[in-house]
């Protein structure tokens, strides 16, 4: 079972056991939303959960994806194995993976030929602001701030290939100078005030899982860069079982949120592929989507309200209601803001009862076009299950190559199954594709969805491939995330990217992108063949999300990271030309910001930039993602830096003189309107309270 499956199972057991504590209206789907009970005043009080699950044994790697105890390795025979015990794939021998990669990419992988990592590469010395550090020490404990080199390095990158290659084989020009760990909202408010006073730059940090260069520090930033790691603000503050909402701090990690809510019979339903490591605040800041969005919605559908600390103070409301028409809501600017406007501290989210049943399914189709046609009809004619994902032929073959070695009767069974599919059903192994499904909900609803799915699949030449294959396909999502860093050691560089596109353009977009990648790979005279594959991951009435994987061998290539970036940029250009979006859920960051003028009018870009200057006139949140800070001038007070290497040198810098300097990012486009260097009118911070009423556990 996957970690999330275990959480759901344990949650159902805990839910049933909780009935005695929570009253007679507590049933198999959590608190029963009974009108009689509400009318009689039998409404349970808010639940105040304990602290999040212990993180003992869950140490994360600093230089590769995932948990430190998990990773792919290869032996002298060329057999691959996933270490650890966290995933079903762990400990299994995978004899077919390397031969399959070699065949598809026309390369050779020699187990002993390893590109040895130089991690950690040289880490820039910190730019210290002694006055700021002295001030924050008045309310933070010593274990809530650090300038340890490798911790600073980790907080200065996400998981793009460019960043992961740089920390192992290249150089990193700029990283945060200080990492701080607030544990309450008041800490964040005071940090922002002190950053304004002492001329520091703040960059919020959640799980560090982004793939858009969103955490990459501007190389020319002269101020002290402070990474504000939110993961100690990680509690579920309260659960309201009657109204099915919960208040959760923004640093809570997805897997912990799922566990705590499941203990009381609920789920948020938001499951991005990064759920084991990403945080609630990160989901909001990047406008995230999860694999079960068909049933539960995207993050903007789930989040009802949130608090955010800006340079003007705390954005907050006292009450939470189902819907309001109260004018423009400044908090809505924070969705997708990617750290440019402030720091999200907590959110109120919708809850759903844990599904009564969870079942998996899978369907084979003769080709990708048939699979897309099925998904279109499913969206138009039925109610799609919680998750429905269609992989193309290369990705289907990839999943087959990840199957453990078979022994005994399993070998014969596998041969018979293959003969049936290819000979009896006539499926071409070089064209067939697979669709995996996750059904969740009441038993009757799930049964109806299954009937619809398999009826429509038959219409398009599909054949049922069983729930077990669907379950394993779903679980592979978490295990295969470790492959990118494994193959990088063997001279294969890889990354993913995604888009959304109308139904009418989906198939052509996939074809165009694959054709463009092959063309660019050949023009660059790179080794072997590129690995380019796609899957349809989320469906909407108006279109789909398409997720690509790209890889190529870099053996003998002078600057492989740059070569990859050029091909990825070409692929993104092709996506836009084919009618796709700049991003469905990864976001923009710095990786895709140059494409913004192709998708937005000058006026739209100007609005975003002027919003940034209006609400953050000193550019305190100076991460420079998107184009919010490009071509705008900011008057920033900068304290004289002290590049001292020990805290004993802090006294030399205790009195910081303010010097006005203009921080101006390199222009990425022609200005839509005449630039202005004028500062927004000074504003006083509104009076604030220690905790807003909606966040108080006692409320």
C-beta of residue 145 within 8 angstroms of C-beta of residue 134:
no
Q: CB within 8 A of 378, min separation 6: which ones? A: 384, 388, 452, 453, 456, 539
Cβ-based neighbour number of residue 239 at 10 Å: 25
d(CA 460, CA 323): 41
Coil vs helix vs strand at 524? coil
In degrees, rounded to 5, the angle at the alpha carbon of residue 627 between the alpha carbons of residues 588 and 300 is: 45
Report which secondary-structure segment, H or E, holds 309.
strand 303-310
Nearest to 114 by CA among 481, 480, 488: 488
d(CA 364, CA 462): 5
Positive or negative CA dihedral for 635, 637, 640, 646? negative
C-beta of residue 653 within 8 angstroms of C-beta of residue 130:
yes
Helix axes 560-577, 161-169, angle to 10 degrees: 180
d(CA 290, CA 221): 34
d(CA 33, CA 19): 14
d(CA 19, CA 170): 57
CA 100 to the chain's CA centroid: 29
Q: Is 547 a catalytic residue?
A: yes
d(CA 607, CA 407): 63
C-beta of residue 402 within 8 angstroms of C-beta of residue 394:
no
Tokens of 354: 């844990």
Tokens of 90: 């762990």
Nearest to 632 by CA among 646, 645, 619, 650: 619
Report which secondary-structure segment, H or E, holds 538.
strand 531-539
The CA–CA distances, whole Å, from 359 to 275, 351, 443 equal 20, 20, 10
C-beta of residue 89 within 8 angstroms of C-beta of residue 1:
no
Nearest to 390 by CA among 509, 548, 534: 534
d(CA 10, CA 265): 10
Tokens of 218: 């501007």
C-beta of residue 275 within 8 angstroms of C-beta of residue 230:
no
Tokens of 669: 């486009």
CA 235 to the chain's CA centroid: 20
Nearest to 270 by CA among 242, 235, 241, 246: 246
Question: Out of 482, 547, 549, 554, which one is annotated catalytic?
Answer: 547
Could you say which DSSP state residue 642 is in?
Answer: B
Coil vs helix vs strand at 549? strand
C-beta of residue 294 within 8 angstroms of C-beta of residue 386:
yes
Compute the chain's Rg from CA coordinates: 26
C-beta of residue 669 within 8 angstroms of C-beta of residue 632:
no
**Where does residue 277 rank: exposed (0-12), middle (13-18), buried (19+ CB within 10 A)?**
buried
Nearest to 279 by CA among 229, 315, 238: 229
The residues annotated with a catalytic role in the active site are 547
């Amino acid at each position: 079972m996957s970690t999330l499956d275990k959480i759901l199972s344990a949650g159902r057991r805990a839910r049933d056991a909780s009935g005695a504590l929570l009253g007679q209206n507590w049933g198999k789907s959590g608190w029963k939303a009974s009108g009689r009970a509400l009318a009689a005043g039998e409404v349970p009080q808010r639940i105040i959960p304990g602290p999040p699950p212990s993180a003992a044994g869950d140490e994360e790697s600093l230089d590769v994806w995932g948990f430190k105890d998990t990773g792919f390795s290869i032996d002298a025979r060329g057999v691959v194995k996933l270490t650890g015990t966290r995933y079903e794939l762990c400990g299994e021998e995978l004899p077919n993976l390397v031969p399959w990669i070699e065949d598809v990419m026309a390369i050779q992988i020699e187990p002993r030929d390893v590109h040895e990592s130089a991690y950690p590469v040289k880490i820039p010395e910190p730019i210290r602001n002694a006055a700021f550090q002295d001030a924050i020490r008045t309310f933070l404990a010593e274990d809530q701030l650090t300038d340890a080199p490798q911790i600073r390095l980790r907080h200065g990158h996400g998981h793009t290939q460019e960043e992961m290659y740089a920390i192992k084989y290249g150089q990193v020009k700029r990283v945060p100078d200080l990492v701080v760990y607030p544990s309450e909202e008041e800490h964040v408010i005071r940090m922002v005030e002190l950053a304004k006073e002492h001329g520091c730059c703040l960059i919020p940090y959640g799980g560090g899982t982004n793939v858009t260069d969103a955490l990459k520090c501007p190389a020319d930033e002269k101020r002290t860069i402070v990474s504000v790691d939110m993961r100690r603000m990680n509690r579920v503050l309260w659960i309201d079982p009657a109204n099915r909402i919960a208040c959760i701090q923004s640093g809570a990690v997805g897997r912990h949120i799922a566990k705590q809510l499941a203990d009381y019979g609920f789920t948020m339903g938001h499951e991005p592929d990064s759920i084991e490591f990403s945080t609630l605040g990160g989901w909001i800041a990047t406008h995230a989507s999860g694999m079960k969005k068909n049933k539960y919605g995207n993050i903007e559908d789930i989040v009802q309200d949130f608090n955010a600390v800006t340079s003007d103070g705390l954005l907050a409301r006292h009450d939470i209601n189902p819907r309001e028409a109260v004018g423009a809501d400044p908090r809505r600017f924070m969705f997708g803001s990617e750290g440019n406007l402030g720091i999200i501290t907590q959110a109120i989210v919708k809850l759903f009862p844990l599904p009564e049943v969870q079942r998996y399914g899978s369907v084979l189709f003769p080709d990708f076009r048939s699979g897309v046609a099925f998904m279109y009809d499913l969206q138009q004619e039925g109610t799609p299950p919680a998750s429905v994902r269609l992989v193309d032929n290369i990705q289907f073959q990839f999943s087959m190559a990840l199957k453990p070695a078979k022994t005994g009767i399993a070998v014969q069974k596998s041969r018979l199954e293959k003969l049936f599919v290819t000979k009896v059903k006539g499926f071409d192994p070089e064209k067939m594709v697979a669709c995996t499904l996750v059904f969740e909900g009441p038993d009757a609803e799930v049964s109806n969805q299954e009937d619809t799915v398999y009826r429509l699949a038959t219409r398009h030449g599909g054949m049922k491939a069983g729930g077990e294959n669907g379950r394993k396909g779903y679980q592979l999502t978490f295990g295969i995330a470790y492959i990118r860093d494994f193959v990088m050691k063997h001279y294969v560089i890889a990354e993913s990217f995604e888009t959304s596109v109308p139904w009418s353009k989906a198939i052509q977009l996939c074809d165009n992108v694959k054709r463009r990648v092959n063309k660019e790979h050949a023009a660059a005279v790179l080794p072997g063949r590129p690995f380019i594959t796609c899957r349809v991951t989320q469906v909407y009435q108006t279109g789909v999300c398409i997720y690509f994987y790209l890889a190529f061998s870099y053996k003998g290539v002078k600057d492989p990271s740059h070569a990859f970036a050029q091909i990825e940029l070409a692929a993104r250009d092709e996506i836009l030309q084919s009618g796709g979006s700049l991003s469905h859920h990864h976001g923009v960051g710095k990786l895709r910001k140059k494409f913004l003028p192709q998708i937005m009018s000058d006026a739209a870009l100007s609005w975003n930039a002027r919003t940034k200057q209006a609400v953050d006139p000193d550019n305190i949140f100076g991460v420079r993602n998107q184009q919010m800070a490009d071509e705008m001038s900011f008057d920033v007070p900068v304290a004289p830096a002290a590049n001292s290497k020990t805290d004993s040198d802090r006294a030399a810098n205790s009195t910081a003189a303010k010097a006005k300097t203009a921080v101006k990012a390199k222009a990425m486009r022609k200005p839509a309107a005449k630039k202005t260097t004028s500062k927004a009118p000074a504003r006083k911070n509104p009076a604030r309270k220690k905790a807003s009423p909606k966040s108080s556990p006692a409320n």
